[in-house]
Amino acid sequence: MKKTILRQYARMLVKCGIAVKKGDVVIINAGLDQPEFVKLVVEECYRAKAARVMVDWSYMPLTKLNVNNMSVKLLGTVEAFEEEKLKYRLEKNPAMLYLVSDDPDGLKGINQKKYAQAMMAKQKVIKPYRDQMDNKYKWCIAAVPGEAWAKKIFPGERKSVAIEKLWNAILYTSRVIDRDGNMLDAVGEWDKHNESFGRRCKILNEQGLVELRYKSANGTDLKVGLIEEGSFLGGGEHTLGGEYFNPNVPTEEIFTTPKAGVAEGIVYSSMPLSWRGEIIDNFSMRFENGRVVEVHAEKNEELLKTMVGVDEGASMLGECAFVPYNSPIRESGIMFYETLFDENAACHFAIGEGFTNTIVDYQKYTKEEMHAMGVNDSALHVDFMIGTADLSIVGVRGDGSEFVIFENGLWAF
C-alpha cells in the first residue's frame, strides 16, 4: 500500500478518531503486525502536538501460551504494576487508540471456561477504574492487516496479496480511498459522514420511542424496551469535557442503550460471531423478562452459553444498533471475522454493558442512578449481527402510535 495513503489514514485516525490536541498523552494498543504504520500514527500524534505517545504491544500467540500454562489464579491476577498503569490512565486521561489485527482463530483450542473465570477475576479490579474513566477520555478502535487475519479472509491468495487486499478493504470502508483505490480527503469524508448521522439521530430522538419491535422471515420476533431518558447516537461523540471524537473507524451504525430487563421474544443471528478466538455460528437467543433464557447454535453452542453466563448482566441487552443492509461494508462482500467491521454490515444487538452516554444529560447522574434507569451493568459487551434483507424495525411511541424505522433492511426515513 502506498505510504501517502497510509499517512492519510494515520492522519485521519489522529485528527478524527482520537482528536489529538496540544498537550495530550496518547496510548496506542497494537499487535506486532504493522509496526511501520504504528510509527506513522506516532508521527502524526506528535505533529498534532501530543505531549507524549506510548505504544503497548501485544501478541496473541503469547496470550494463548499464558492461558494454556498459567493457573486460573495467576491468570486472573492484576499485578501491582498493572494496577499502577490503570491509576496512571485515570490520572492522565490519555487518548486511547486501539489498532486491531489479530487472527480470528488465534485463541482456538484454549480452555474457554478457564479463560472466562480468569477474566472475571481481573474485571473485579479493572472495572472500577474503567467506570471512573467512562465518558472522560477520547478513544478509537480501528484496524490494520495481520497476516493470519488476511489469510483467513482471502485463503486462496499469497500472503502479500491477501494483506494488500485487506488493506484495500480497511481503507475503503474507513473512507480513506474510493472503490477504485484513489485517495480521498479522509478528514472531509468523516465530517460529511458525521453530519448524516446527526440528521437521522435528530429525527429518531424527536419521536419519544418507548419500545422497538423487530421482525424478519428467519424467525426473529423480539420486543425491546427503551429507557425514557435515553437517546440515539451515531458517528462522533463528545467527552464530558466537550471534546469530539470518533470511537469506531469504520462505523455505519446509529445506536441506543435499551432498558435492561425489558425484552421478550427470540432473535436469530445473520452472521457468524468471532469471540475469544472462536467462531459461533447460526445461533439464536430467546429472551424472557429481559434475560436470555435459552440459546442454540449450530457451531460452538457451549461457548455461547459461557458468554451469556459471564456475569449477571451478560444475559441482558446493552445495545440496539441500526445499520442499513446496503452499508459499504456489506457491499464489499467480505466477511471480516472482526466485530469492528461485521457489526457495521448489519443491524445488531449487544449483550452486556450498556452505554451511559446515551442517557440525556448523563453527566448529571451517578452510575448507580443510570443503572436504576435501565442501563445494563456488566464486564462484557459483545455485539452480534441480526440484520437481514427483510428486517423490519418499528418504534412505538409513548402514546402507542408507531414510527417505522426500517423496512426490508433499509432506513424507512
Q: Do 14 and 83 reside in the same domain of the chain?
A: yes
CATH code, 129: 3.40.1830.10
pLDDT at 135: 87
| Residue 278, pLDDT above cutoff 90 | no
Dihedral sign of CA atoms 350, 242, 172, 170 in order = negative
Residue 178, in any domain of the structure: no
Q: Do 32 and 146 reside in the same domain of the chain?
A: yes
Q: Do 269 and 317 reside in the same domain of the chain?
A: yes
Q: Count Cβ atoms below 10 Å from residue 405 Cβ, excluding itself.
A: 24
Q: Do 30 and 112 reside in the same domain of the chain?
A: yes
| Residue 134, pLDDT above cutoff 90 | no
Q: Total structural domains in the chain?
A: 2
Residue 99, in any domain of the structure: yes
Q: Do 281 and 398 reside in the same domain of the chain?
A: yes
pLDDT at 276: 83
Q: What is the mean pLDDT of the chain?
A: 95
| Span 338-355, pLDDT tens digits | 989 999 999 999 999 999
pLDDT at 254: 98
Q: Do 247 and 108 reside in the same domain of the chain?
A: no
Residue 185, in any domain of the structure: no
SS3 sequence, the chain?
Answer: CCHHHHHHHHHHHHHHHCCCCCCCEEEEEEECCCHHHHHHHHHHHHHCCCCEEEEEEECHHHHHHHHHHCCHHHHCCCCHHHHHHHHHHHHHCCEEEEEECCCCCCCCCCCHHHHHHHHHHHHHHHHHHHHHHCCCCCEEEEECCCHHHHHHHCCCCCHHHHHHHHHHHHHHHCCCECCCCCECCHHHHHHHHHHHHHHHHHHHHCCCEEEEEEECCCCCEEEEEECCCECCEECCEECCCCCEECCECCCCCEEECEEEEEEEEEEECCCCEEECCEEEEEEEEEEECCEEEEEEEEECHHHHHHHHCCCHHHHCEEEEEECCCCCHHHHCCCCCCCHHHHHHHCCEEEEECCCHHHECCHHHCCHHHHHHHCCCCCCCEEEEECCCCCCEEEEEECCCCEEEEEECCEECC
Q: Do 378 and 239 reside in the same domain of the chain?
A: yes
Mean pLDDT across 40-67: 97
154 contact partners, CB below 8 Å, separation of at least 6: 161, 162, 165, 166
Residue 198, in any domain of the structure: no
pLDDT at 339: 87
| Span 74-104, pLDDT tens digits | 999 999 999 999 999 999 999 999 999 999 9
Domain end (from 158, 173, 188): 173
Residue 183, in any domain of the structure: no
Q: Do 322 and 277 reside in the same domain of the chain?
A: yes
Residue 189, in any domain of the structure: no
Q: Do 240 and 376 reside in the same domain of the chain?
A: yes
| Residue 277, pLDDT above cutoff 80 | no
Q: Do 20 and 69 reside in the same domain of the chain?
A: yes
Domain end (from 135, 153, 173): 173
Would you state the cell numbers that stand for residue 207, as one nine-digit string? 419521536
Q: pLDDT-derived band of residue 222, with 50, 70 and 90 as boundaries?
A: very high
Residue 188, in any domain of the structure: no
Residue 345, in any domain of the structure: yes
| Residue 34, pLDDT above cutoff 90 | yes
pLDDT at 236: 94
| Residue 155, pLDDT above cutoff 90 | yes
| Residue 327, pLDDT above cutoff 90 | yes
Rounded to whole angstroms, how far apart are CA atoms 145 and 160? 11
Mean pLDDT across 164-190: 96
Q: pLDDT-derived band of residue 108, with 50, 70 and 90 as boundaries?
A: confident
The residues pairing with 75 across neighbouring beta strands, listed in sequence order, are: none
Q: Do 235 and 128 reside in the same domain of the chain?
A: no
Mean pLDDT across 153-163: 96
Name the residue range of residue 42's domain.
3-173
Q: pLDDT-derived band of residue 246, with 50, 70 and 90 as boundaries?
A: very high
Q: Do 152 and 213 reside in the same domain of the chain?
A: no
Mean pLDDT across 242-258: 96
